[in-house]
Each structure stands twice: as structure tokens, then as C-alpha cells.
Amino acid sequence: MKIKVLDPLIASKIAAGEVIERPSSVIKELVENSIDANSKTIEIEIINGGMDLIKITDDGNGISKEDLPLAIERHATSKITNIDDLTRLTSMGFRGEALASIAAVSQMELSSKSPQSIAGSNIQVENSMILNENPISMVNGTSIMVSNLFYNLPARKKFMSTQKSESNRIVRLINHFCVTHPEIKFKLLIDEKQKINTHGDGELIHTIAKILNQNLASELISVSNYDGDFKISGYITPPHISRTNRSNILYSVNKRIVKDKLITMALEQAYRGFLTIGKFPITVLNLNTSPSKVDINVHPRKDEVRFMNENEVFSFIQRSVRETLIQKHPVPNTFNAVHNTAYPLTSSGTKSNFREESIYNNRIETREQTSFNFNTNNENTLFTNNNFPILRAIGQIDNTYIIAEGEDGMYILDQHACHEKINYEKIIQSIGSNMLDMQLLMEPYLIDISSLKTRFLMNKLDSLNTNGISIDLLDDQTIMLKGVPATIINTKLNDFIKDIETFIESELDINDALGTMNTIAASIACHSSIRAGDTIDLKEMNLLLRDLENCNEPFHCPHGRPTIQNISINQLNHMFIRPN
Ligand SMILES: Nc1ncnc2c1ncn2[C@@H]1O[C@H](COP(=O)(O)OP(=O)(O)OP(=O)(O)O)[C@@H](O)[C@H]1O
Ligand SMILES: [Mg+2]
């Protein structure tokens, strides 16, 4: 076929398709415009998942009568004049493409009034052309109505999800806007029913309480850190509250909603050891940095960023969150953690707020809290390793749990989890320094790699070789494991080898040095530790307790399970119906 220049209308529809993927992308662009216009209130209405109608009304600066026709022109913007402005950009928009793109794939009506004008103006647009232009009486601000999205792009329309899932996507997006801009009052109506209505009083925690869950908000830990180049602030969940997916890991960069693997990974790593595998935290965080340090012109939908120094960003976020967690998370109290109890407790206690669900829909699985409600104020129960209770071992239950007496009653410790944590921290300290003794295997263990992607393989082998493990390439199909850390218990050797095999086969990026170290250390620690079912004497128990006291973070094993639970004197008195 001969090369020919496309008709401008077709070209603009194709270009629009990159910016406007679905109803939620229209809403993202329009809400961002309202934010750029300094709006204090933004109201969003959708009908039929946004496919039939999207209407956004704000009380911002408005657009003058002269500018209104320009607003729908491609590459027409009031936000930048030259390319250097991008390094100083504080607005969400900069390309002058959003309204033009929406105009190319929908029927649109814009009404706007700036405070300087006496009346407002209204234009009706179809196929990127203005059909009507009229004065209109309205209050200051802008109202944009987008109807019949993709009516002229049937191929795209076919790929839309159901009305419900498009609506859910929009709810998630607006929730994210709400927590990113607590100073703005947001209202969302779906098919005429109000779904979101925030105060806009500027207090993030009020917004979280309003749109997520009041009880959950009261459990959150505040994060705030500044290192000269970066500032992070917001809230995170303590280790006992988690979700089974990443959809509640919310963050923004300079108040811009983006998706960034680096940030997600830094947050997940900050929780490593606090949460079990497959559990994820809830976060609401904003990272602030100079616009010159972050490129936002990466993706047509402006939802990705590239940092000038990725390592710095990664370690700043990871460090800020991890240090906060270590400082603030409380010692688990038995009655906050146990689902069922053997004691006949009264049922008049407060309902707990721990939900294994998305924070945005009110699904199930509520843990019942008992009437023992002594530790509702986390501030009173904050322990760091400095005030880890001094414990005296009393005995062992089921060859699995150590019972100890301490400053506030009875403590129950999981002997395997404790030993695992002690070993883990020792390994982490000595890892990479060749301080881990090695035992040579009687027979090298061969791992078949012919089916593997070998992108990071050599790096992986190098990193293992510094950690008490001797491993080499036998040929281009086989890896040979010759030695393992001396601490690995004989009966656990096979399990350890399996972990090494899984690690080699995993997609774990070796550049993620911390991840590698933690994965290997956790495996060595696990397979070097006292097991549940092992009988240990009082002397060994007390040695274990002393070692645990010296851990940096003694409260959880490397997989995030608790090492210790407490039943306070008050609780004991209560159980036995004694006055306190
Ligand atoms: N709600 C609004 N209030 C005031 N002015 C607006 C509003 N929406 C759009 N505008 C004006 O219309 C112009 C074009 O908007 P559009 O979203 O197309 O481009 P942009 O925001 O400048 O850049 P981008 O394409 O990156 O979003 C804006 O630069 C702004 O001047
Ligand atoms: Mg815009």
C-alpha cells in the first residue's frame, strides 16, 4: 500500500486513544485540570460507568470566553511556554492535549466563567469541532460534560469492562485523589447516588477516616521524614493490619498520582519481616521533591515518572517507612491478636476494625475483639527493642511455646519464631562479609538451568557465594551447589537446597541487593533454628530470651509472624474476676 498522510481527524482520534484509554482516564484529566485551576470543590457525576456521561464541576479559576475555544485545540496550554518549564513544573497538566483528546472521542460541552467575566461561556463540541458557542449565566468555575465516550471509536468501546468495574475503577481513582488532596472537597455521584463526599479541611487523617474506615484510620501510623532532597509524609498500617493485594498501596509524587514499581518495591521491602508472604500494607503517602529531580514526561497518560537518582529515592522511602515501623509498632497483646479464646469472655466488647479486604468496599472477615480492651491506645503500648520486657522463662508448652514471666504478667513466645529471628539478625549482620562458616556437601547438588532465563544468573551466583554458600556453574545447563552454611541443621538440608533452587529460578532482581540478602538470610535462619516440637530446657529457654532481647526488632520472625504475645496482669485479674 502507498504511504499517505492520514486525515487530521483520524490522526487526532488515534492520538486521543493513547491519552484516553477508558472513562477513568477522562476523569483523571478533568480532575487534574480542576486541581490546576485551584478549585476548592470538585464534583464528579457519572452515568453507566462513565460511558454515557461524565460531568465534572469545579469552583476554580475558570476559562475566559476568548480562551474557551482554544482549550480544546491540541497543544494549547496555559501551563508552560517553553521546554525548560518542565523542570519547574508544579501543575498536573503541561501538554495541552487532554481536552483535545477528549473532544476527539466524545461529545463534549464546556461551560466556564472566570471571576473577571460578568457572564460565562458555553461551547458544544463534536468530532473536535465547535458546534455552538453561547453566553451562559453561571457561578465562577468550570463545568465539563462528556457524553457517549468512544461513540466514534467503536473498536475501543468494545474493549470496555462492565459498567460495575469501570465504576469501581473510578471510585478507586477519586479515593486516591481525595487522600492526595485533602484540602479539596470531593463529591462523587454514580448513577445519581452519592458515593464519596469529603470535608476538604486539609487534614489527611480526616479524609482517610471519611473514605476508608474510621477504625482503620485510628490504627494508622504517621510517617514523616525529610532528608534535604526528599520529603515523605502520610500514613501506613501497623504490621497487624494487612491486605491480600497491593491495591491499597497508595502514594503520589509531588501530589501527582502515579504508578511506580520502584516506590511500590521500596514500600514492600520496608515491611519485609513485618508481614507474612502474600500480605501487603495499606499506605497513603506523598513524596515531595524538586520538579527538576523527577521527569513526568514519560508516558502519554502522565501516570509514570522517572527519578534522576532512583537508588536515592528507593533507599529514602524504604528507610523512612521501616524506621517508623520499628519505632512505633506495638508488642502484640494476646487479646488483640487471638481470633478465638478458650475463656468464656463476655461479648459486650468493642468490635474490632481489622478487615482483610479492600479498604474501598465493605467486604467481610472482621476479627472479633474481646471485651478485654486494655490496649486500645497504641501510644501506651509502644515498645522498641530498648523496652522489650525482661523475661524469665517458666516452662514450655507443647514443646513449641515458651511461657515466661515479665514486667506485665505472662508472656508466651513461639520458640521457632524467636530463634529464627535471632539467627536472621545475626546472619544479616555477617552476610556479605564471608563471616558465615560453610560446610561442604558430601555430594554436590546439581540444579538444572537449561530452562531458565539466565539474565541475572551470574550475579545471583556471585551474591550467594559470599554468604556461606558455595555454588558454581558446572556447564551451561547445570549449576553445582557444593557447600551450605555450617549452621544449617542436617534434617533441614533438603529444604534449604529447595529454597536456593527457588531463589535461583525466581524473577527476583539481583540488583535488589536488600531483597536478595533478606531472602537468603531468612532461609538460612529458618533452617538453622530450633523447631516447634523440639524439647529445650530452662537454661536454653533463658538463653533464647536474652538473645531475643538483643535483637533490633524482636517482635516478629523474618516471615512477619509474631514472636511474642502478652497477657497482662490486668487481663489475668479480669479472667479470674479479681478486682484490679
Ligand atoms: N477546569 C478548568 N479550569 C480552568 N482552566 C481549565 C480547566 N480545564 C482546562 N483548562 C484550561 O484549558 C487548557 C487545556 O487543558 P488540557 O487539559 O487540554 O491541557 P493542560 O492541562 O494544559 O495539559 P495536559 O494535556 O497535560 O493536561 C489548560 O491549560 C487550562 O488553561
Ligand atoms: Mg490538563
- String of DSSP letters for 255-311: TEE---HHHHHHHHHHTBTTB-TT-B--EEEEEEE-GGGEE-TTSTTS---EES-HH
234: region left, alpha or beta (phi > 0 left; psi from -120 to 50 alpha): left
Distance CA 294, CA 312 (A): 12
C-alpha cell at 26: 477522562
Ligand 1 pocket: which of 77, 112, 114, 297 to mutate (most atoms <8 Å of CB)? 77
Q: Which atom of ligand 1 is nearest to the CA of 72?
A: 18
Q: Which ligand is nearest to the CA of 99?
A: 1
Distance 91 CA to ligand 1 centre (A): 10
Distance 246 CA to ligand 2 centre (A): 28
Third-level CATH fold of 212-328:
Ribosomal Protein S5; domain 2 (3.30.230)
**pLDDT confidence of residue 378:** 31
Distance 102 CA to ligand 2 centre (A): 11
Distance 331 CA to ligand 2 centre (A): 47
Distance CA 427, CA 436 (A): 8
Distance 12 CA to ligand 1 centre (A): 17
Question: Whose C-alpha lies nearest to ligand 1, atom 19?
Answer: 96
DSSP state of 222: E
The domain 334-419+532-575: what is its CATH number? 3.30.1540.20
Distance CA 196, CA 194 (A): 6
Whether residue 507 contacts residue 524, with contact meaning beta carbons closer than 8 Å, is answered with no
**pLDDT confidence of residue 431:** 66
Question: Whose C-alpha lies nearest to ligand 1, atom 24?
Answer: 93
Q: Which atom of ligand 1 is nearest to the CA of 91?
A: 21
Q: Which stretches of the chain drop beneath a pLDDT of 70?
A: 329-387, 431-435, 450-456, 458-459, 466-467, 506-517, 580
**Which residues approach ligand 1 with their CB closer than 6 A?**
29, 33-34, 37, 58, 60-63, 71, 76-79, 93-100, 142
Q: Which ligand is nearest to the CA of 86?
A: 1
Q: Which ligand is nearest to the CA of 296?
A: 1
Q: Which atom of ligand 1 is nearest to the CA of 19?
A: 25
**pLDDT confidence of residue 503:** 76
Distance 29 CA to ligand 2 centre (A): 5
3 state DSSP class of 554 = coil
pLDDT over 70 percentage in the chain: 84
In angstroms and rounded to an integer, the radius of gyration of the C-alpha atoms of the chain is 29
The CATH number of 8-197 is which of 3.40.50.2000, 3.30.565.10, 3.30.590.10, 3.40.50.300? Answer: 3.30.565.10
Cα separation values, 165 from 1, 51, 106, 170, 174, Å: 40, 12, 20, 9, 14
Question: Whose C-alpha lies nearest to ligand 1, atom 1?
Answer: 34
**pLDDT confidence of residue 357:** 31
C-alpha cell at 448: 538444572
Distance CA 39, CA 58 (A): 6
Domain range annotation of the chain: 8-197, 212-328, 334-419+532-575, 437-486+488-527
**pLDDT confidence of residue 484:** 84
Domain over 437-486+488-527 is classified CATH 3.30.300.30? no
Torsion of CA 138, 144, 148, 151, to 10 degrees: 130
**pLDDT confidence of residue 331:** 53
Distance 201 CA to ligand 2 centre (A): 25
